[in-house]
Amino acid sequence: MVKVNLGGCKSFVSDALYSDYIGKALDAYDVLAGEQGAGNDFLGWKTLPCDVTEDIICRCESVRDLWASKGVDLVVVIGIGGSYLGARCAIEALSHSFVRKQGVPQVVFAGNNLSEDYIAEMMDLARQRNTACVVISKSGTTTEPAVAFRLVKSYIEETYGKQEASQRIVAITDAVKGALKTLATQEGYTTFVVPDNVGGRFSVLTPVGLLPIMLAGFDVRAMLAGADSERESLLVRGADNAAVQYAAMRNLLYSEQGKGVEILVSFNPKFQYLGEWWKQLYGESEGKDRKGIFPASVICTTDLHSMGQFIQDGSRNMFETVVTVENASREVVIGSDPQNLDQLNYLAGQRVEHCNRMAQLGTKLAHIDGGVPQLEISVDAINEKTLGALFYFFEFACGVSAYLLGVNPFNQPGVEAYKKNMFALLRKPGFEAQSREILERIK
């Protein structure tokens, strides 16, 4: 379902070097398939498309139906990193860009920053609406979602009463440990489990992603089916395996040609959050031990009018991975104008998508001429099935790629550094000893 086209790298890479890297990628594939590599206790995501039970989906439907019966028209999804990006990516990709879907609640996201303005404005919205909340934290102790949840929880309790609040709050967290689990048990919230062997950024196909996506009105069974058929196609080992090809080429460009930046490009703004989800997946999985490709993203043609100059002509340390959607869902034809003052009549009768495609092809040639290799990943349309396939493809390819690079794809030790300093500055109990030193250093 997900196709890879490496034609845009041909002029940069010899066949011999590519086949060398295919060999390395196949070795890495074997480590992932054989589950012998670093972090192999976090491989539960590999079988999620067929492991998610009908019972889990039915429990999600019960939450959806209960909230519908209460007239809930706003769901605040609280979480950060892997605990919100997958759901946001799918909901943004599948939703109308301007009109709210009828008959389902609006899903908004909070707890992914510490901006006072953002939280206050989200609360303004909550106060105007019939509100429920899904709080997601695998560890159950992350500061950003905990701060947002404290506010939303007390608002819901004050507005609807404590007993009703327990029906309007759902927690998705660890099966046994963490502050959120303790609170959820104490308050009697409906809970869903993030499996122990699935890390946050690989969790979109658990209730972490599935519940918010379903609440927003989308078909999670189709998403799992799309992911499962991608899983089956990636089970076939060989030089034609799409994940092996992607992992091989991006590592070759990085290690042999100093291309340390990968830009995920889409010519469809619905994929803006695919870029955000992908950046977390690859950034946290590969950026360690002083190694890794820096993941960036742009939306075209929008960003050709901002980042385009740099990509065409700036430092030559980057390559692009373009995610192409072969078929637009809608047709818009450009009309004829008798005056033709804008001189666009040469396009009369053409679809806007035709112009978009020509812009994509023109950009490909220009960027290749400018020294930027281009990989292409394509799906036939944007729908639940193809999103499921893309999620699975990128996760699997990430595992192969990180093992090829020689890092553990499934940990994120670097994320702790800012937290320690922040806790010391906030004088969190247990961190007082570091406070003085940190205060000295920031003077």
Positions annotated as catalytic residues are 284, 305, 419
> Does 83 help bind ligand PA5 (rule: CB under 6 A)?
yes
Smallest gap, in angstroms, from Cβ of residue 281 to ligand PA5? 8
Closer Cβ to ligand PA5, 46 or 201, answer by number: 201
Nearer to ligand PA5, 83 or 206 (CB): 83
Q: What is the DSSP string of 47-91?
A: GHHHHS-HHHHHHHHHHHHHHHHTT--EEEEE--GGGTHHHHHHH
By beta-carbon proximity to ligand PA5, the closer residue of 126 and 198 is 198
What is the CB neighbour count within 10 angstroms for residue 365? Answer: 11
HSE value, Cβ hemisphere, 13 Å, CA-based, for 64: 22
Q: Residues for the chain: how many in total?
A: 443
Neighbours of 193 (CB within 10 A): 18
Q: Which stretch binds ligand PA5 (CB under 6 A): 17-25, 137-145, 325-333, 389-397?
A: 137-145
Least Å distance between CB 39 and ligand PA5?
A: 11
Contact status: 139 vs ligand PA5 (CB under 6 A): yes
Told to check if 292 binds ligand PA5 by CB under 6 A, we report no
Q: Looking at 136-144, 241-249, 261-269, 424-432, which segment touches ligand PA5 (CB under 6 A)?
A: 136-144
Backbone φ, ψ for residue 204 (5° rounding):
-60, -30
Beta strands in 218-366 (DSSP E): 261-266, 294-299, 318-325
Between 26 and 208, CB nearer to ligand PA5: 208
Q: What would the x/- binding string for ligand PA5 be over residues 402 to 431, using CB under 6 A?
A: ----------x-------------------
Q: Which is nearer to ligand PA5, 201 or 250 (CB)?
A: 201
Judged by CB under 6 A, the stretch of 135-143, 300-308, 347-355, 428-436 that binds ligand PA5 is 135-143
Residue from the set 37, 86, 105, 199 that interacts with ligand PA5 by CB under 6 A: 199
Interface with ligand PA5, residue 206, by CB under 6 A: no
Rule CB under 6 A: choose which of 24, 64, 138, 181 binds ligand PA5.
138
376 is a contact residue toward ligand PA5 (CB under 6 A): no
Task: Using the minimum distance from each CB to ligand PA5, give the nearer residue, 363 or 408.
Answer: 408
Binding status of residue 82 toward ligand PA5 by CB under 6 A: yes
**What are the residues facing 193 on neighbouring strands?**
173
288 in contact with ligand PA5 (CB under 6 A) = no
How many Å apart are CA 14 and CA 236, to the nearest integer? 25
Q: ∠ at Cα 28 (27, 34), nearest 5°?
A: 90
Spatial CB neighbours of 402, under 8 Å, sequence gap ≥ 6: 285, 286, 408, 409
CB 79 to ligand PA5: min, Å: 6
- Distance of alpha carbon 244 from alpha carbon 120, whole angstroms: 46
> Whose Cβ is closer to ligand PA5: residue 142's or residue 190's?
142
Q: What is the per-residue DSSP string for 337-351?
A: -SS-TT--GGGTT-B
Instruction: Give CA separation, 254 vs 231, 257, 405, in Å.
Output: 26, 6, 10
Report how far residue 28's alpha carbon sits from residue 405's, in angstroms, rounded to the nearest whole number: 9
- Strands (DSSP E) contained in 93-151 are 106-110, 131-137
The verdict on 81 binding ligand PA5 (CB under 6 A) reads yes
CB of 146 to ligand PA5, least distance (A): 8
Q: Which residues bind ligand PA5 (CB under 6 A)?
A: 80-83, 137-139, 142, 145, 199-201, 284, 412
